[in-house]
Amino acid sequence: MSEMPAATPIEQRELVLTRFFNVPRAKVYRAWSEPEQLKKWFAPKPWTISRAELDLRPGGASVIVMRSPEGQEFPNPGVFLEVVKNEKIVMTDAFVNGWQPSEKAFMVATITFEDHNGGTKYTARAQHWSAADREAHEKMGFHEGWGQCADQLGEVAATL
Amino acid sequence: MSEMPAATPIEQRELVLTRFFNVPRAKVYRAWSEPEQLKKWFAPKPWTISRAELDLRPGGASVIVMRSPEGQEFPNPGVFLEVVKNEKIVMTDAFVNGWQPSEKAFMVATITFEDHNGGTKYTARAQHWSAADREAHEKMGFHEGWGQCADQLGEVAATL
């Protein structure tokens, strides 16, 4: 029942990446949502994805395991908050096993797929609980990492 | 892509309160989910609820404003994660405006309504992102506050 501190505007807690693909959004959505396709682009090469399972419904789990070139594995567990086919996917690392709080609520990732000149405007938005986490994410290489993956996504979508 | 620290078991991050009511669970659920009923019990008296709006669906907002005996108001914004009529309500303060991260991911509240000897077993579970938040919540008076409210809930349900 304590008073809340003054809010940090969400603009200071988010990172956004946009790409335009000459591919219809249904194909971009397929490349994102089908595990066999996602494995081809979700890690920046030469990293790979050794495992991808997506239970695409609110409360459903995503299990995506990245593998370094040296063979070390890094699990990225998450939960889907909202899924609108061909339009929008919202997921977060804030929960495990349904709605149990995870060790750390770091970010909400919102992916949108929009029609644009016969192709697709792809937007990946990472919103964080704190400005410090946003900054850490940027320094971890958000723009380079997510950017390279988005380019790889466009290439995979073009093959579908 | 960093490795996660060893997890704090959820048992060390949760607070649980249980009550048994001699009232069918459909009535307890009504007392919980209908704003006009919720206003009667959600704050420990002599505190009151000056406003209650519940959009009972995943991603829907809850706006509950507590008022102190001195007339000061304390908003408690939240978002519903899961709603199963007469069975379960899951909500959190981790989001605002749909799935935008709030200023602080403090807890997930899971409320369950179970049949028990012709009455209802009522369980309110608060799960936190950190053990420190669990401890702070306990010191804020979780057991006394939620306990008094649960007793008030049982009294309201019995009038329905």
Taking contacts as CB-CB distances below 8 angstroms, the residues of chain A near B90 are 99
Whether the link from the prior residue into B46 is cis, omega within 30° of 0, is yes
Which of B5, B108, B129 lies nearest to residue A99, judging by beta carbons?
B108
Contacting A with CB below 8 Å, chain B residues are: 1, 3-5, 7-8, 10, 13, 58-59, 66, 74, 81-82, 90, 92, 94-95, 98-105, 107-108, 110, 127-129, 140
Asked if A114 and A25 count as a contact pair (C-beta separation under 8 A), the reply is yes
> What's the CA gap between A102 and A125, in Å, rounded?
21
Average pLDDT value for residue range B86-100: 94
Number of continuous H segments (helices) and E segments (strands) in chain A: 4, 9
Distance CA B59, CA A135 (A): 27
pTM score, whole prediction: 0.90
- Per the prediction, chain B carries an average pLDDT of 94
Report the sign of the C-alpha dihedral through residues A122, A127, A131, A134, in that order. Answer: negative
Asked whether the beta carbons of residue A1 and residue B66 sit closer than 8 angstroms, the reply is: yes
What are the pLDDT digits (tens) for B37-78? 999 999 999 999 999 999 999 999 999 999 999 999 999 999
Q: Once rounded to an integer, what is the mean pLDDT over residues B97-105? A: 91
Q: DSSP 3-state assignment of A13?
A: helix
Question: Residue A2 has what pLDDT?
Answer: 43
Written as six digits, the tokens of B111 are: 């409320």
> Could you list the mean pLDDT of each consecutive 10-residue stretch along chain A, which spans 160 residues?
62 96 98 98 95 95 96 94 97 93 95 97 97 96 95 98
Which runs of consecutive H residues, i.e. helices, occur in B71-141?
131-139
Would you say the C-alpha torsion B149, B152, B156, B158 has a positive or negative sign?
positive
**Count of CB atoms within 10 A of residue B89's CB?**
22
Q: Which residues of B touch A1 (CB under 8 A)?
A: 66, 74, 140
Closest to A130 (Cα-Cα) out of B93, B102, B7, B92: B102
Provide the pLDDT confidence category of residue B12 given band limits of 50, 70 and 90: very high
In A, which residues are within 8 Å of B5 by CB distance?
A: 103
- A149 contacts A141 by C-beta, under 8 angstroms: no
User: Which residue of chain A has the CA closest to B7?
Assistant: A103
